Amino acid sequence: MILCPRFQLFEIEDQSWCPRWLILFIQTYLTTLWNRRIPRVLRRSAAEVAAAVIIDNLPDFSTYTFVDLCAGAGGPIPTIEKVLNEECSTNSYIDRQSEEGLRDQNHLGPIKFILADLIPCQKGWEKLALQENIICVPKEVDVTQRGGVDVTTLEGVDGITLAGALDNRRECRMFNISFHHFDDDSARNVLANAMESTQAFIIFEFLQRDLTTLWFCCVTTVSILPLLHTLLVYWGSPVHLLFTLIPIAPAALAIDGFMSMLRTRTPEEIDRLIKQPNPLSGKWHFQHGSARILWPWHLHWYIGFPLIIHILQLIHAFLPVVFGLHWDPSRSISPKRVVGYYADWTVYKGFAPALLDAESFTHINYAFADVNPFNGTVNFFDRYAAIQKAFPDDDESRAGNNAYGCVKQLFLLKKKYRHLKIMLSIGGWTLSGNITHPASTDQGRKEFAASAVKILQDLGFDGIDVDWEYPIEGTQPNDMVQLLAEIRSALDANSKAHAAGKHFELTVASPAGPEKYTKMNLREMDQYVDWWNLMTYDYSGSWDELARHQANLYRSTCKPQTTAYDTASAVKYYESQGVSPSKIVLGMPLYARRFNNTSGLGRVFKNDGPPDAFVVPYKDLPVRGGNVHNLQQPVASYLYDPATKSLLSYDTPSIARKKARYILQEGLGGAMFWEASGDRTDEDSLVRIVVDALGGSSKLDRKENTLDYPASSYLNVREQFN
């Protein structure tokens, strides 16, 4: 029974005037309390009880990296690390993982733990550093800072960033008897950041505002235990006499213990913090409880993780009972697509199709084909680059009507990588105006569809991508629906005649701005579309008034002027129009938008020159350093150089990982990149980072492409370029 309301009273340890030695005393005492066993009295330490709570209540716990940003002197982490990794190595756990179709723990390696604090406890962490799976951050980290904390940008003792500790893993934030220190505003922000940027959080508290806690406080603070601790900790120093005879440190510990009891929150109070206001609260599952350590000592816990994980867990539990079946929950998550646009003009810059990362992509969209604005005939904008340019291994003396150029190179690529599908993308920003008139007439739509499908059959494409920017005026929304219907019909007819009924895919490059997507007939379009390539970038650029984020996931709550648009709102709107999340492929830029002569993010700027002059390929940008900023609340990053007064908005590896986790969390269909030549080829490749975060290439769409095009007008296409 709760004895009194919650009071946000001060604790001595939190005060700026509190000496470091006293903070160290309190933190080491609490760490001892967490990890100490007492033979025949305390069979399991509090930390072992906490580990059992994690094992029993956090689904698939072995796939997480656990992060404690209020670590004190280490708390329960050394014991929890040993217990969880020992559990993962037992035969029973390995067998259960295999039976349930969950991820291979041996593939992921041991579970890692990251410790940080506002006042790093270097002395208390000396022994922890000996455990190879515990990483300590020596610099100050404030978990309450605006925008949250991006763990991947933190550095360990060796100066190496911690991104590797999260590769292929989810992140779980831990608050080990620390959450009560936050006032309501800070606590609300800390939880919101945990829900936006991680996949789980856990709150552990020893105390609650009840009678058993009151008794526990008396036993652990107003007793001989703190006095014994002073003797053990300070035995080698004469000051221990001062601590024992005049018990300054134990007195401070006793005061803070009772203050902590009054500051702890009930589960219902935490619920209210989460839902006031937090748009993600409805998509998360929360559970709580308490576990007895030794009467009157209880461990109170509160755990949150995405609702989809909880639903899959329930389904997995009940299916065998109801149907006598065993079900692999990973099959409920559709394979992800990774789509890359290959721009024909990049071949003149030395980026040949053979340089594409074919193992990472599932689809390559060849951009762009043009449309005759009068009759609707589709043809290549750059015919030379597409089918005439000779590459080193081409034999142009070969007899017959043959295709060369980028199209041949892409065919050879998909012949080698049978999971790779090549799509013909029609339109684009520059050429979209040519679609308007043909799409408005029956004859124009028929010619558009027939000529596009003929190119598909002639040159070995696996589908068509329509990039009309944008059908939002007058009859254009309905024209787009009818155009898609005509293309779908033509694709199916071609498949029946020449491909034994194989499904050729039809996609749309679609806008992420509400002034556009709210005017489109998304619900009617969706029946013809296999998926939507959502262009969630170019939210800001040289045309804008302020230097803003160009591809942020959420609206900024602390600096709203820096986010004119946001991705999450676009995704939510598409879903409200009946579009399945699994059909939404999230766009990511492989370039930066540059803003010159500006004093910073959200400020005015002045760019002199054409818009293209202020686009910088990602491969030419730094991904870390003092001028690179990763913001966790809007999930966006930028570089600002105060010396040159230049700002660049782009996705860093840290932000790309967060977006991949968002794709998984929301059950989206995958990721799309504009455009492929902009990526790096080293370990900071955004495409490979996203693929790894999605679970690796084995989790992607591996449906085979088509190689047989018997009705092609090109001899070498019919012969599959043999």
Report the catalytic residues.
469
- d(CA 64, CA 60) in angstroms, rounded, equals 8
DSSP code, position 649: E
Residue 428 φ/ψ, nearest 5 degrees: 90, 170
- d(CA 323, CA 235) in angstroms, rounded, equals 65
Provide the terminal-to-terminal Cα distance of the chain, rounded to the nearest Å: 79
Q: How far is CA 468 from CA 319, 427, 446, 518, 520, in A?
A: 45, 6, 17, 15, 12
- d(CA 677, CA 657) in angstroms, rounded, equals 20
- Return the residue matching tokens 């569809």: 449
* Residue 274 and residue 242 in contact, taking contact as beta carbons nearer than 8 Å: no
Cα dihedral sign, 714-413-386-376? positive
- d(CA 404, CA 189) in angstroms, rounded, equals 57
Helix %, strand %, coil % of the chain (to 5): 45, 20, 40
Three-state DSSP class for residue 584: strand
- d(CA 81, CA 128) in angstroms, rounded, equals 10
Sequence letter at residue 210 = D
Question: Which has the closest alpha carbon to 371: 471, 470, 438?
Answer: 438
Q: Is 291 left (phi over 0), alpha (psi -120 to 50) or beta?
A: beta
Burial category of 197 from C-beta neighbours within 10 Å (exposed 0-12, middle 13-18, buried 19 and up)? buried
What is the b/e burial string over 68-84, where b = at least 16 CB atoms within 10 angstroms of the residue's CB? bbbbbbbbbbbbbbbbb
- Return the residue matching tokens 């959080």: 201
Q: How far is CA 149 from CA 118, 144, 194, in A?
A: 12, 8, 9
**What sections of 385-441 are H helices per DSSP?**
405-416, 428-431, 436-439
The encoded tokens of residue 314 equal: 């329930």
* Residue 341 and residue 425 in contact, taking contact as beta carbons nearer than 8 Å: yes
Please state, as a whole number, how many other Cβ atoms lie within 10 Å of the Cβ of residue 147.
Answer: 20
Question: Which has the closest alpha carbon to 500: 362, 703, 706, 701?
Answer: 706
Instruction: Give the angle 617-621-622 at the CA atoms, nearest 5°.
Output: 160
- d(CA 314, CA 696) in angstroms, rounded, equals 26
Sequence-separated (6 or more) residues with CB below 8 Å from residue 700: 335, 336, 337, 338, 362, 419, 670, 691, 694
